[in-house]
Structure formats: structure tokens, C-alpha cells
Structure 1
Amino acid sequence: MKRREAREHALRVLFQLDHSEMDVNEAMLHVTEEKDVFYDTLVKGTLAHREEIDESLEQKLENWSLNRLPKIERTILRMAVFELEHTEDTPKPVIVNEAIELTKAYGDEQSSRFVNGVLSKYINK
């Protein structure tokens, strides 16, 4: 599976698991039965580091709290921050661009600018 597809599948799983008691492996299989290391890493890594990621995002958000964000933007930001902070094989601008593209597909135009602004703080730190 291509990385863009893996990110989209991971987004669906993480969105589904946000405030749900569903088992992560069950949720992953519900989205796709295809095995992929990158997909597995994105989902499980984002979940494993969620508390740390949320604390980091709270520091970067201006005049917003993480809980006030729409669920799709919050999920995309969590996944992108995990990839920015805990993986090394994808250039940071590519990660940000992929997050923006996901936001355009699932959010609205203003959401994509917001996500870009937040994630740019991770690149420019």
C-alpha cells in the first residue's frame, strides 16, 4: 500500500477509536485487511504517544484547546505530530503536506490553513 493510502486508512482508524472502546486491531481490520508496516506504525504509534502528542499540541495551539477542535482536525494533527516527532524516513515538509491534503479531503479550506499553521511550528522549532 502506498503511504498516502496508509495515512488515509490510519486516519479512519484513529478517528474511529477517538472516544471508543473498540480494540485497535479490530478497528484496523475493519478499515482494511491489507497488512502494511507503515499503516501499523502510524496507528499504533499515534495511540502509544497520544498523551505526549496532546500535551505538545496544547502548547502549539493559540487561543484553542485540543478538545475544542473538530475531531477530524484533531485526529490529523495527532497523526502528523507522531510522524514528525517519531519517524525519520519521510521529510518533514512531506508529512505536513500530506496532513494538509487529508484535511482538504475531510475538512474544509480553513481547516487546512489551521493544520498547516500548527504543524509549521514543529518544523520551525
Structure 2
Amino acid sequence: MTEELTRHQIRIRAFQTLFAMNANPEADRHVIYQQLLADEDGQTAAVPAYLETLVDGVLDKQDELDAQIKKYLTTNWTLQRIAKTDLVILRIAFYELDYQTDIPKRVAVNEALELAKQFSDDRSRRFINGVLSHEIEPDK
């Protein structure tokens, strides 16, 4: 029996799914889910609802999310110049910031930085933090 995934683990699977689909738009997300959710014995768990929420939400709102990201890019930057890993992380973060009201903004930002720490480098983490810091208001 597989254990239930934490929200952090679900975000990792969402990143991996979206990254794979970005590389291969024809990929079947359900096949990707099964690969990511299989245990050592090849048994697959049920797809967590939040995983589907994140992946479907990012895919459905991608144009709006990209418009949000563009607002914070300097004039010499475009979405095409952003590393694909960073772009996927930013899309997930903006989706959570804009469409998931049950997640505190700081949690969404911290989770994005954790994904960057795991899948990107320090420079990317600083870049992501810089973009997302515009989206959250400082505590008063």
C-alpha cells in the first residue's frame, strides 16, 4: 500500500509532469502520472486530486500565468529566455498565488523556491524569488 503524498511531494510530481509535457506536448499526462506515482514494485497509486488540480490548472491558465510572469520581466527578458525549469516553477507558483485561495502566498513562494533548489540552480532560485517577491506584499 502506498502512502499518501504531501502537498510538497505533489508539487514535485506536478513540476515533473508539466516539464515532461512542455518537452513533449503530445505526451499523455495520465501515463506520466502513473510513471511518477509507481512504487518500487511497479504498483501505482491513485492520482492525488491536488496533482490534477495543479497540472490541469497550469495548462488551462497558461496564457494568463505567462502574462503575469511577463509583467515582472525586465525589458531584455522574454519568456523564451527563461530556463524551462524556471518557467514551469513560476507557472505553478503563479497558479497557486492566483487561483488557490487556501494556500498562503508565502507558502506558494517558499514551495517554488524549494522546487528551484531541487531542480534548478542558485541563480535561478534568486531569479524566481525576485519575480515572485513582486507578487506578495511584505508583512506589516
Normalising by structure 2, report the TM-score: 0.83
| 1:77 aligns to 2:90 (yes or no) | yes
| 1:60 aligns to 2:72 (yes or no) | yes
Name the residue aligned to 2:9: 5
Q: CA deviation at 1:28?
A: 2.1
| 1:51 aligns to 2:59 (yes or no) | no
Amino acid across the alignment from 1:18: N
Moved more, 105-114 or 23-32: 23-32
Amino acid across the alignment from 2:118: A
Pairing of 1:1-125 with structure 2 (within 5 A): 1-20=5-24, 21-32=26-37, 33-34=44-45, 35-62=47-74, 63-124=76-137
Give the Cα separation in 2 of the matches to 1:19 and 1:104.
21
Give the Cα separation in 2 of the matches to 1:28 and 1:59.
32
Give the Cα separation in 2 of the matches to 1:114 and 1:70.
11
SS at match of 1:18: helix
Q: 1:19 to 1:105 in 2, by over 3 A?
A: closer
Work out the number of aligned pairs and report it: 125
Question: Structure 2: which 5+ residue stretches go unaligned?
Answer: 38-43
User: By percentage of residues, which structure has more helix?
Assistant: 1
Q: CA deviation at 1:58?
A: 1.1
Name the residue aligned to 2:40: none
SS at match of 1:123: coil
Runs of 4+ in 1 over 3 A off after TM superposition: none
Give the Cα separation in 2 of the matches to 1:51 and 1:24.
19
Q: CA deviation at 1:51?
A: 1.0
Q: CA deviation at 1:29?
A: 2.2
Give the Cα separation in 2 of the matches to 1:75 and 1:17.
10
- For the aligned residue pairs, the C-alpha RMSD in angstroms reads 1.5
